[in-house]
């Protein structure tokens, strides 16, 4: 059994990664986002080593974290990124036999995925044309020298603009917000862009039974995120004027919950895309829904095939949940995987999914 076994690799460049698995006592990873609001932040990983800083390790080095599968010596990558922080501390104690003071170094190394670096890259020296959101994302990434990202084509037209050296991350996330898309890192650290159609017609990649859940399920239904009137700005802003606006309203929702309005100025080029965007917001947000806040997975209860499927899921995967008590709001629950937090030790694997209905 290899559950709980981790593999950690560190190196100055990806081609020279050195295996530190036997030295790392704990590896923690946070990936994606915690809910359905906003763009995912950079994934992060922290490894702990009882000992001095590994030979030559420095800021900017590459770090990979892998989780063990079955059969032995097979792994699923859980993180890929670049070292951002290194800390060195000393544990002091007394040897019970000799009475001498013992000093033991303790090193922590933290890394972040490539989304973090986009905030420090500036692009834009000539006007850009009207283009689909996927094409705009690709344009910005290529100006950053990134050509390996998996980019959906896009569903809406983004206004042309004259960009004068702006941070790439802000430009990309604004496109995602306006178009209903997401800029994400995959588990291996590569960038991807999911357009508004990315999750349409998805089928469950994995179904988890209630007996495979480690945390007590807690269902929540509240007013957070409720919107029943969406006003979306579109088109160029005329000199001295205001951007044109299209408004969609959910009258049944307002009759029950009162008016909860949202306005967003966007880079959408035309009224059709703005109308569709407003409709999509209402379809998702015009009524409170039951949702599970966290989904803790007991990896020891999974078969080898289930474990491999679970550890190779990417953000945006559809997960089924069965076997919940009949009193639950939805005993057979389908949810989107928005991210996860996990801790790998020398003998255990603690994994909690962040999900949305």
User: Band of the pLDDT at 3, cuts 50, 70, 90?
Assistant: low
| Mean pLDDT for the stretch of residues 71-82 | 92
- Give percent of the chain above pLDDT 70: 99
Q: Do the domains 206-221+290-356 and 118-194 match in fold?
A: no
Tokens 């009193």 correspond to 327
Of 170, 157, 90, the C-alpha closest to 129 is 157
Q: Report whether 92 contacts 103 (CB < 8 A).
A: yes
CATH class of 118-194: alpha beta
Here the tokens at position 256 are 């029950």
Q: Which residue has the tokens 């009162």?
A: 258
**Which token pair is 104?**
């033991």
pTM: 0.91
pLDDT digits (tens, 9 = 90+) for 165-188: 899 999 999 999 999 999 999 999
Domain boundaries, the chain: 6-114, 118-194, 206-221+290-356, 229-285
Q: In this predicted model, what pLDDT tens digit does every residue of 204-236 receive, in sequence order? A: 999 999 899 987 888 899 998 899 999 999 999
For 4, counting Cβ atoms within 10 Å of its Cβ (0-12 exposed, 13-18 middle, 19+ buried), the class is: middle
The H-or-E segment that residue 127 falls in is strand 127-128
- DSSP 8-state assignment for residue 198: T
Question: Which range in 37-41, 52-56, 227-231, 293-297 is most confidently predicted, on average pLDDT?
Answer: 227-231
Distance CA 163, CA 161 (A): 6
Q: What percent of the chain has pLDDT over 90?
A: 73
Contact 250, 282 (CB under 8 A): yes
Q: Which of 209, 171, 221 is nearest to 298 (CA)?
A: 209
pLDDT score, position 1: 41
47 near 106, Cβ under 8 Å?
A: no
Mean pLDDT of all residues in 6-17: 89
Instruction: Give 41's pLDDT tier (boundaries 50, 70, 90).
Output: very high
Q: Is the dihedral of CA 306, 310, 312, 314 positive or negative?
A: positive
Tell me the residue length of the chain. Answer: 357
pLDDT tens for each residue of 271-326: 999 999 999 999 999 999 888 878 999 999 999 999 999 999 999 999 999 988 88
Measuring CA to CA, which residue among 307, 215, 254 is closest to residue 4? 307
Position with higher pLDDT, 147 vs 241:
241
For 109-164, what is each residue's pLDDT tens digit? 999 999 999 999 999 888 999 999 999 999 999 999 998 889 999 999 999 998 88
Q: What angle do CA 29, 30, 34 make, to 5 degrees?
A: 160
Classified by CATH at the fold level, domain 206-221+290-356 comes out as: PUA domain-like fold (2.40.450)
């Amino acid at each position: 059994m290899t559950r709980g076994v981790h593999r950690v690799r560190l190196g100055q460049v990806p081609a020279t990664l050195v295996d530190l698995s036997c030295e790392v006592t704990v590896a923690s990873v946070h990936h994606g986002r915690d809910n359905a609001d906003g763009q995912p932040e950079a994934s992060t990983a922290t490894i702990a080593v009882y000992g001095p800083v590994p030979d030559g390790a420095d800021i900017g080095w590459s770090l990979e974290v892998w989780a063990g599968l079955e059969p032995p010596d097979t792994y699923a990558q859980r993180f890929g990124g670049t070292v951002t922080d290194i800390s060195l501390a000393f544990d002091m104690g007394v040897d019970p036999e000799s009475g001498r003071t013992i000093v033991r170094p303790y090193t922590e190394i933290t890394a972040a995925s490539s989304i973090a670096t986009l905030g420090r890259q500036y692009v834009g020296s000539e006007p850009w044309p009207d283009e689909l959101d996927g094409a705009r994302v690709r344009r910005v990434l290529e100006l950053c020298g990134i050509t390996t990202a998996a980019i959906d084509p896009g569903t809406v037209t983004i206004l042309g603009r004259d960009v004068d050296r702006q941070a790439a991350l802000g430009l990309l996330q604004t496109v995602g917000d306006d178009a209903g898309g997401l800029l994400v890192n995959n588990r291996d650290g590569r960038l991807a862009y999911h357009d508004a159609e990315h999750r349409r017609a998805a089928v469950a990649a994995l179904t988890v039974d209630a007996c495979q859940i480690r945390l007590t399920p807690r269902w929540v239904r509240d007013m957070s995120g409720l919107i029943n009137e969406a006003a979306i700005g579109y088109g160029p802003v005329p000199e001295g004027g205001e951007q044109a606006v299209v408004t969609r309203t959910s009258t049944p929702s307002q009759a029950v919950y009162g008016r909860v309005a949202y306005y967003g100025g966007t880079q959408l080029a035309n009224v059709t895309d703005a109308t569709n965007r407003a409709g999509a917001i209402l379809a998702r947000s015009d009524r409170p829904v039951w949702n599970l806040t966290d989904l803790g997975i007991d990896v020891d209860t999974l078969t080898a095939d289930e474990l491999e499927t679970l550890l190779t899921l990417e953000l945006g995967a559809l997960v089924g949940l069965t076997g919940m008590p009949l009193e639950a709001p939805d005993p057979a629950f389908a949810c989107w995987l928005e991210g996860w937090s996990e801790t790998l030790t020398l003998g255990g694997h603690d994994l909690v999914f962040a999900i949305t209905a």
